[in-house]
């Protein structure tokens, strides 16, 4: 699969047809990602070979809250999410968006009432969200992260620690801005599920160790099947992390007075830094984490679960350093929308 190519022809046609109601003005693109924990929107215009973001929105909605016990979206979670989606719809109208794609991931994939929720979203907000497969989620994430890959290193391991799942993607780099996806795996755990099962506000050493062990067990088959550790030993692997967990560690390490995407995106973290900052965050109380400008109250109970999953990844693949990506699925959607327009190389 060549990830420098755009969307498939059928999807490209559908997306172009969706884009016409605002007239023949310069195209404005929107990418909406509804995950288990977050609702995120990017609105952009084409700028040469890339794009320029003109508006953005992100809100923690916890759509998948409580789904560890039953595969059902709660009414409280639905209400929170609908309010966020109404903000997204208003922003898209205000910016006169001409081409848009909205996707939903793990929570909507698993929920038995997912279809009725999406019908309600369409009725109340006018937004049509597409539930995508883990493979499509991986493809979009890779497309969004391609500019951060080092073309001099043969392989790349990309991971995304999400709210309801953790994605692993094994890539072979071809040249600058081009890579082949060799394999991907969606693991059935993320920060929301782990925090609900093992605790989030106050996490003891035993609970933390249990999270690391559970995650580690599920990483092993992917490693063995694809020979990742062997390639790592030959110095042929780079690691890229795209998730709130790694961006949080980067923000904390950089001592940011407030979170700054421009400062975080593309930075490198050594395993020593990750270990040190993880220990510092783990020693904080819930109140201290909540007060940190790069964490906040809404994410303070999820941080330790994310650190445990990251710990398991770093133990399995001690690569020395990883690159932090504050980009991914939404950027991949934008690239796909723009490539679907004739004449954009």
- Cβ pair 304, 203 in contact under 8 A: yes
- What order do you get walking across the sheet with 50-60 strand by strand? 50-60, 38-47, 29-34, 99-104, 129-131
pLDDT at 6 over 70: no
Burial of 36 (0-12, 13-18, 19+ CB in 10 A): buried
What is the Cα–Cα distance from 65 to 74, expressed in whole angstroms? 8
Tell me how far CA of residue 27 lies from CA of 7, 20, 98, 134, 328, in angstroms: 18, 10, 6, 29, 22
Query: Is the pLDDT higher at 271 or at 11?
Result: 271
What is the Cα–Cα distance from 160 to 169, expressed in whole angstroms? 9
The pairing of beta strand 178-187 with beta strand 237-241: unpaired
What is the Cα–Cα distance from 65 to 192, expressed in whole angstroms? 7
Closest of 105, 100, 237 to residue 179, by C-alpha = 237
> How sure is the predictor about 70, in pLDDT bands with cuts at 50, 70 and 90?
low
| Tens of pLDDT, residues 205-242 | 999 999 999 999 999 999 999 999 999 999 999 999 99
pLDDT at 7 over 90: no
Q: What pTM was estimated for this model as a whole?
A: 0.83
Domain boundaries, the chain: 9-135, 142-329
| Tens of pLDDT, residues 108-158 | 998 999 999 999 999 999 999 999 999 999 999 999 999 999 999 999 999
Query: Under the phi-then-psi rule, with left for phi > 0, alpha for psi from -120 to 50, and beta for the rest, what region is 72?
Result: beta
pLDDT score for 65: 85
pLDDT score for 313: 96
pLDDT at 11 over 50: no
Handedness of CA 47, 49, 53, 57 (dihedral sign): positive
User: Does residue 3 sit in helix, strand or coil?
Assistant: coil
pLDDT at 305 over 90: yes
pLDDT score for 163: 87
User: Does residue 122 sit in helix, strand or coil?
Assistant: helix
pLDDT score for 16: 37
Q: Does 9-135 match 142-329 in CATH topology?
A: yes
- Kindly state the percentage of the chain with pLDDT values over 70: 91
- Cβ pair 218, 225 in contact under 8 A: no
pLDDT at 76 over 90: yes
| Tens of pLDDT, residues 258-280 | 999 899 999 999 999 999 999 99
pLDDT score for 20: 42
| Tens of pLDDT, residues 35-59 | 988 999 999 998 887 889 999 999 9
Round the average pLDDT of the chain to a whole number and report it. Answer: 88
pLDDT score for 334: 94
- Kindly state the percentage of the chain with pLDDT values over 90: 72
What is the Cα–Cα distance from 230 to 227, expressed in whole angstroms? 5
**Mean pLDDT of the 155-164 span:** 93
What is the Cα–Cα distance from 173 to 287, expressed in whole angstroms? 43
Residue with tokens 């939404």: 330
**Mean pLDDT of the 239-261 span:** 93
Q: Can you name the CATH fold of 9-135? A: Nucleotidyltransferase; domain 5 (3.30.420)
pLDDT at 200 over 90: no
Report the CATH architecture of 142-329: 2-Layer Sandwich (3.30)
> How sure is the predictor about 177, in pLDDT bands with cuts at 50, 70 and 90?
confident
Q: How many residues does the chain have?
A: 345
Backbone angles phi, psi at 164, to 5 degrees: -110, -10
């Amino acid at each position: 699969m060549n990830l420098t190519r755009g969307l498939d022809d059928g999807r490209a046609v559908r997306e172009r047809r969706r884009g016409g109601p605002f007239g023949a003005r310069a195209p404005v693109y929107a990418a909406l990602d509804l995950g288990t924990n977050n609702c995120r929107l990017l609105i952009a215009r084409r700028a040469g070979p890339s794009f320029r973001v003109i508006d953005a929105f992100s809100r923690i909605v916890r759509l998948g809250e409580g789904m560890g016990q039953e595969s059902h979206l709660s009414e409280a979670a639905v209400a929170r999410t609908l309010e966020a989606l109404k903000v997204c719809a208003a922003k898209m109208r205000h910016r006169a968006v001409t081409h848009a794609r909205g996707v939903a991931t793990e929570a909507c994939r698993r929920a038995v009432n997912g279809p009725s929720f999406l019908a309600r979203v369409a009725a109340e907000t006018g937004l049509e969200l597409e539930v995508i497969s883990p493979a499509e989620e991986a493809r979009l994430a890779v497309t969004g992260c391609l500019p951060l890959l080092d073309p001099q290193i043969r392989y790349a391991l990309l991971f995304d620690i999400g709210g309801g799942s953790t994605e692993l993607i094994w890539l072979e780099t071809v040249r600058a801005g081009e890579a082949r996806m060799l394999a991907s795996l969606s693991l059935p755990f993320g920060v929301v599920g782990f925090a609900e099962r093992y605790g989030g506000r106050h996490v003891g050493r035993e609970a933390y160790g249990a999270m690391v062990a559970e995650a580690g067990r599920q990483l092993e088959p992917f490693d063995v099947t694809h020979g990742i550790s062997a390639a790592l030993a030959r110095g042929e692997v780079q690691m890229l992390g795209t998730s709130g967990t790694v961006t949080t560690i980067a923000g904390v390490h950089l001592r940011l007075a407030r979170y700054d995407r421009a400062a975080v995106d593309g930075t490198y973290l050594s395993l020593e830094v990750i270990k040190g900052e993880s220990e510092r965050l783990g020693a904080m109380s819930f109140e201290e984490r909540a007060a940190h400008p790069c964490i906040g109250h809404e994410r303070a109970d999820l941080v330790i679960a994310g650190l445990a999953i990251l710990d398991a990844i770093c133990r399995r693949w001690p690569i020395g350093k990883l690159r932090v990506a504050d980009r991914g699925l939404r950027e991949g959607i934008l690239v796909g929308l723009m490539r679907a327009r004739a004449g954009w190389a």
